Structure 1
Amino acid sequence: MTLVSLAGVAVRFGDRELLREVSFVVDRGERWGILGRNGSGKTTLINLIRGDLAPSSGTVVRAPRLRITVMDQYRDFGDAATVWEAAAGAFADLFALEHSLAEQAAGMAEVGDAVTPAMLERYDRDLHRFQREGGYEAAARVDAVLHGLGFDPDASRTRSLATLSGGERGRVALARQLAAPADLLLLDEPTNHLDLETTLWLEGYLRALDAAVLLITHDRALLEAFADHILHLEGRTAAVYAAGYSAFVTQRAERRLAAQRAYRQQASKIAKEEDYIRRNIAGQNSRQAVGRQKRLARLPRLGPPPGEDDVMAVRLEARERGGDQVLVAAGVRIAFGPRVLLDGFGATVRRGEVVGLVGANGAGKTTLLKVFTGERPPEAGTVRLPDSVTLAHYRQDLAQVPEEKTLFDAIADRRTRWTRGQVQGHLGRYGFPGDSVLRRCGTLSGGERARMALALMEL
């Protein structure tokens, strides 16, 4: 059964064409990996499929009553107070119906023989709906997903959302999406907050689903284990590969070689024809030259095949040489209410060292970074950065990217002495060439926002 089909889809923002002639069909049970460099239109494609964005041309057709879930739909936990309530958010109406059924049953038991046909009819109708929509399986489904993503289902029923770290909130949002009934799941980098164990669980869970899944990820191991189709966005269009990841890599290389060969052959043919026309247009073979000129004008020209993905030239260098010690922590305690994440932590980071923060989900890695940057005070202890230290912070939520400013102004406002050429050169190294620097930051895709955050961090 076809769930979604795109035919000849193009997306333009003003004069800027982001996607053109995109066509593919997603059937029930298929598992798609969506690949492409940052800014190639992956998130735009997701917005097209879910109906949040209309194509500039072409058609997007969805099956009637298609149930689509997207993780950002589930980051707002509404009135949920506990982890379990947040994860079970998609079943709120169903659980309310269950409560109503219990009240109806109690009411009928109380009146005994005075039960009316209308009361019985309502109870039967509501019970049938509860069964049809999976009411008896809903709680078990939520428990299974929470357990798979590293939460204790029983403890989750009383654990406050306020005690969660940033990574844990991301996993609860993923649990909320995975538990929700769906025909099509749209997953954008779902492993960002997962460790190896929970990533392996996710692989198995997705493979077992009857629903179709479209997955954006840079995790090659997950793609290898999960995908049976690949959609590769490149050169403002999309190529479909009815294959897993390894086969895609091979087939893409073969297609690239074939495209390069065809382009070179056509370029050589055009050069020979143009040379013949130039030599004979005014001579005795002018009729043949004119004929060739007309045929050449009608010839559809092949464009050069897209090159390999660009590599950003990131330079993270200290502007001034400071002291030997760049961060000193002593006796640091971090807690959320009664839950202690870290106690008695001490460390000294010296100039030139590269330190990795490693730990299980919810261990407090992001919270510790916030303590280092001064965004959050520790419950006890001290963190000291010498005055000579300049801090650059790449935030997980990319909140450092100013929505209303243009890319050019965001850099120029931070480097007031730079010339226009210096600002453009800096942005160019992060994949923003030419007039693209005049775009407003709020129009950037997820991948482009990440690159802009890096460009700002280097300043």
Structure 2
Amino acid sequence: MIIAQGHDLEQRFGATPLFSNVNFTIENNARIGLVGPNGVGKTTLLKIMTGKQEATHGEFTVNKGIELGYIAQEHDFDESKSIWDEMITVFQPLIDQGKQLEQLQYAVADHPEDQDLLKKLDQAQFSFEQAGGYTYQAEMKSMLNGFNFPQAAWQKQIASLSGGEKTRLSFVKLLLKKPPLLLLDEPTNYLDLDTLDWLEAFLKNYPGAIVTVSHDQYFLDHLATQIFELNHGALTIFKGNYSQYLAQRELRDQQQEAAFEKQQEEIKRQEEFIQKNIVRASTTKQAQSRRKALEKMDLIDPPKHSGKVRISFKSARPSGKEVLILKDLTIGYPDKVMLRDIDFQINKGDRVAVIGPNGIGKSTLLKTVVKQLEPKGGSIKYGASLDIGYYDQELQGLDYSKTVIDTIWDKHRDMDEKDIRSILASFLFTAKDIDKKVSQLSGGQRARLTLTVLSMEHDNFLLMDEPTNHLDIEAKEVLEKALASYDGTLLFVSHDRYFINQLANKIVAVRDGHAKIYEGNYSYYLDEKAKQAQAEAEKAPAAPQLVKTSDSKLSYQEQKKRDSEKRKLQRLVDQAEQQLAELEAKEADIQQQMADPAIAADFSKLGPLQEDLTAVQEELEKVSAQWEENSLKLEDFD
């Protein structure tokens, strides 16, 4: 079912159109990725959809009763409140409903014989339960934990949070509201890998429609079933995820290129005929006819996916085989240890990704390797003939008072201005851009300028801290290809899972103050994590397969071991039977309390009892399974 649609949307800034003739529909279960280079109007289109901005022409309509939820970089909080108090405002209508239910319960307690009141109470309790009245706090806790807000932080004042934390909290608040249409602007910014995995799983099962602007290809591949490409003032719709969109786009561009070239050949042939025959009396009419046909011809445009950033990295000299060896390394700051016992080796040609939660010490590791920080323990051994280049995610290597061209020229005085302009043009800096001061550039332009500087140093060991931040999705693709063909060694920190998966041949996973090495890409890392989780779930050792044999054939030691195992299993069975008896008694007691009319009419007492009953029944099921498993093992001894 269509729940919203855009019709002939156009947005102009003065006389210049940003986009025009934009038409689309949104189904009730849509998963749409809105993509395109920076500056083409993706966020503007989202704002038109939310009503925050009015289109120059056309309209966006939403079906009656469909609520939109929008997350952007702005935050809508009462910052004087705690995290918990702000989040619970989402459920104020439900809280008010609970208060009305409580008043109705008091009325029933005063007039238990009133059948109409009892009927109203029954309906109100059912409505309250269906709306999540008994579970909304559990939902809040789950969502806060999923977005990496542990219980210890729930009473923190929102004003004390960082920008990234506020963005995550905006997401929590929005998802708790569950609007039928979610509009997300760069939702993966500021999220670590664990949170991203959690968010993807949540959004896959989200009951409404989703439209998201994102530069995260991994996210779009796992979520989107449609791609809306906004580029060159037009919207084009593709079926499938982002990788499927790229394949379709490439095929379309190839077909358009072929059609364009064929038409250009035909135009050239016709123009040559016209030039030869226009002055001849016998053929002038035919030439004039062909000229008119040419003037009326619908011209095919060349493919528009050109003008990409052209990045390349090449080392000036080869490094030694061993590039970096970290031994028992402890890193941090004078007053704080971040990571301990780091042991791994990087060899020539390796592509090593450092991953882990925000604030755990990934950037600290890179800063220690480039000698911006002193190690707190252990050793760092650098390989022979090593030239180290460093990309800082804060882009602090730039002098904001300099112009773009001087940023390059000051480092390469012997280069001609023409050559510098050519290199900057390959990184999409226009003639106007290169005379701007660095302070006037956007985040994406500063990132490209930093990459320009780095590419010209020709280092053989690159350390890059979040190199895809600030880059649009096409620029990231170009950077990924450039680094894949780089002839040196790479150590990088990233939250971009697609980027990591395409580049890394080793993963350094940082968690709980330690680093663990995985010899593979991100998919391999996920597989290994899944195996570890399964192994932990199966920690209880399987019972030995006992061969049925007579006691007389067993040695004394074998018989002794067998008897010991049998006694152990018998104890486990006896303990489980005792637990089952206690849990069944507890279950019966709770059920008896819930049957009490006074409690049944009081949701404030009934709710906690229901939670207790559920917990007891889950424990009963668990213990019963253990009892059955051990009982079967015990039978093998008979």
What SS does the aligned partner of 1:303 have? Answer: coil
Aligned mates of 1:430, 1:138 — CA distance in 2: 50
Q: Deviations over 1:15-70 (max 9, x none)?
A: 76543443322232200122334455434443443344444x54241326642311
The correspondence for 1:183, drawn from 180, 185, 189, is 180
Aligned mates of 1:444, 1:239 — CA distance in 2: 29
TM-score, L = length of structure 2: 0.51
Shift in Å, 1:203: 2.4
Q: Deviations over 1:138-195 (max 9, x none)?
A: 433322322333444x444345668877765554443333333323223344334445
1:224 equivalent in structure 2: 221
Shift in Å, 1:303: 1.0
Aligned mates of 1:443, 1:74 — CA distance in 2: 25
Number of corresponding residues: 424
Aligned mates of 1:219, 1:20 — CA distance in 2: 26
What SS does the aligned partner of 1:147 have? Answer: helix
1:290 aligns with 2:296: no
2:501 equivalent in structure 1: none
Aligned mates of 1:51, 1:449 — CA distance in 2: 32
Q: Deviations over 1:261-280 (max 9, x none)?
A: 22122212212221221112
2:297 equivalent in structure 1: 299
Give the 3 Å change call, closer, same or farther, for CA 429–256 of structure 1 in structure 2. Answer: closer
2:73 equivalent in structure 1: 72
Aligned mates of 2:12, 2:315 — CA distance in 1: 38
Give the 3 Å change call, closer, same or farther, for CA 248–211 of structure 1 in structure 2. Answer: same
The correspondence for 1:262, drawn from 259, 264, 278, is 259
Aligned mates of 2:260, 2:433 — CA distance in 1: 28
1:253 equivalent in structure 2: 250
Q: Deviations over 1:291-313 (max 9, x none)?
A: 22122112221111124572432
Aligned mates of 2:334, 2:25 — CA distance in 1: 49
Q: Deviations over 1:202-227 (max 9, x none)?
A: 22321222322122334444333321
Aligned mates of 1:341, 1:69 — CA distance in 2: 39
Aligned mates of 1:395, 1:161 — CA distance in 2: 26
**Paired AA for residue 302 in structure 2:** P
1:145 equivalent in structure 2: 143
Give the 3 Å change call, closer, same or farther, for CA 72–346 of structure 1 in structure 2. Answer: same
Aligned mates of 1:168, 1:132 — CA distance in 2: 32
5 Å-filtered alignment, 1:308-457, equals: 310-313=308-311, 333=332, 342=338, 358-365=354-361, 368=364, 394-395=392-393, 409=403, 412=406, 424-435=421-432, 447-448=444-445, 450-451=447-448, 454=451
Give the 3 Å change call, closer, same or farther, for CA 215–400 of structure 1 in structure 2. Answer: farther
Larger radius of gyration: 2
Shift in Å, 1:370: 11
2:270 equivalent in structure 1: 273
Give the 3 Å change call, closer, same or farther, for CA 241–267 of structure 1 in structure 2. Answer: same
For the 8 Å contact 1:441–1:449, the answer to whether it is kept is yes
For the 8 Å contact 1:189–1:217, the answer to whether it is kept is yes
What SS does the aligned partner of 2:73 have? Answer: helix
Give the 3 Å change call, closer, same or farther, for CA 37–146 of structure 1 in structure 2. Answer: same
Give the 3 Å change call, closer, same or farther, for CA 220–313 of structure 1 in structure 2. Answer: closer
CA RMSD of aligned residues (A): 5.5
Aligned mates of 1:37, 1:217 — CA distance in 2: 11
Aligned mates of 1:456, 1:52 — CA distance in 2: 39
5 Å-filtered alignment, 1:127-142, equals: 136=133, 138-142=136-140
1:59 equivalent in structure 2: 58
Aligned mates of 2:69, 2:190 — CA distance in 1: 22
1:121 equivalent in structure 2: none
5 Å-filtered alignment, 1:88-103, equals: 88=87, 91-92=88-89, 94-95=91-92, 98=95
2:498 equivalent in structure 1: none
1:22 aligns with 2:26: no
2:627 equivalent in structure 1: none
Shift in Å, 1:391: 9.5
Q: Percent identity?
A: 23
For the 8 Å contact 1:69–1:182, the answer to whether it is kept is no
